Amino acid sequence: MSVVILRWNPEISSYRMESFKNAVEEAKNTQKYMLNWSVWEHEKVHCGDCFFMLRVGKGKTGVVMSGKIVSEPYHEEDWSGKGRMTYYVNIRPDFLVDTERGKHLSIRDLEKAFPNYVWKEGHSGMVLSDSLGTKLEWLWLDFLYSNFSVGKKGNFASNLFDTDSECVLKTYHCYMVEPLQLDLAKKKGAACEICGYDYEKVFDLSSLNYGGVQNIYYFFPGKRQGKSVRQNFHCICANCRNIYSDICSDTNDGDLLPFESLVKMKRK
């Protein structure tokens, strides 16, 4: 499991600005937008990896998509017509951000946060180190949560749930982001915060890697916006997760509730 950087320069790419604008609309309307993209380090890139697509070149550069790689790399004709050996992967975005129309995570923001990596140029399809990949995942979640959990923003689309104020929460609650799971398990352990059931007794945390990590930390709505988005993650076991799902459907039409609702229920 790696975090892969894809690059898009609208001025030279066969994927035009108009294709991207249409993609944002398609994601909003269908939640089923898919595409493929070229990858340079095709031997290191695999199905299941996370990706970030950076718009580079002139104009409003920055992160325009995040999501998952959903195929192994395959060889196909060079998009540029230069006849190079080119590999592609199929990708499924979870979020799209139009950098021209509002808040976005810019290349400059990335350079400020991680000055030792060259963001603005390089091949498409480069694998980040595990530690940089994890840090970028946190930065992205922070950005999404603080900008797109309140109110509707026109330059933003969710491709997994309806684009509304809940979509960031729902995506991170329901889909495992392996680098975040692994980071949380290593730093905070793997014991259920409700009943104490300890995953550490089942698998060895010290040898835990991306392959072995399970979805044990879940993202919950905050009662109030905390200092760090990490505080919204709580470790719960499968049993307690079922109880939580029941409370949500019984009392909240299936919408997610703060973690405290589960704590209260368990105390009774």
Site of interaction with Zn ion (CB under 5 A): 192, 194-195, 197, 237, 240
DSSP codes of every residue in 62-110: EEEEEEEE-S--EEE--TTSS---EEEEEEEEEEEE-TTSS---BHHHH
To the nearest whole angstrom, how small is the minimum distance from the Cβ of residue 243 to Zn ion?
8
The residue among 127 and 240 lying less far from Zn ion, judged by its C-beta, is 240
Smallest gap from Cβ 196 to Zn ion, in A, equals: 7
> Hey, which residues does 207 pair with through a beta bridge?
none
- Which of 212, 218, 168 is closest to 188 using CA atoms? 218
Task: Give one word for 48, left, alpha or beta, with left for phi > 0 and alpha for psi -120 to 50.
Answer: left
Of 121, 143, 116, residue with least CA distance to 61: 121
- In the complex, the smallest distance separating the C-beta of residue 266 from Zn ion, rounded to whole angstroms, is 8
- Cβ closer to Zn ion: 155 or 214? 214
* Nearest residue (CB) to Zn ion, 96 versus 192: 192
CB of 218 to Zn ion, least distance (A): 11
Q: Closest CB to Zn ion among 150 and 195? A: 195
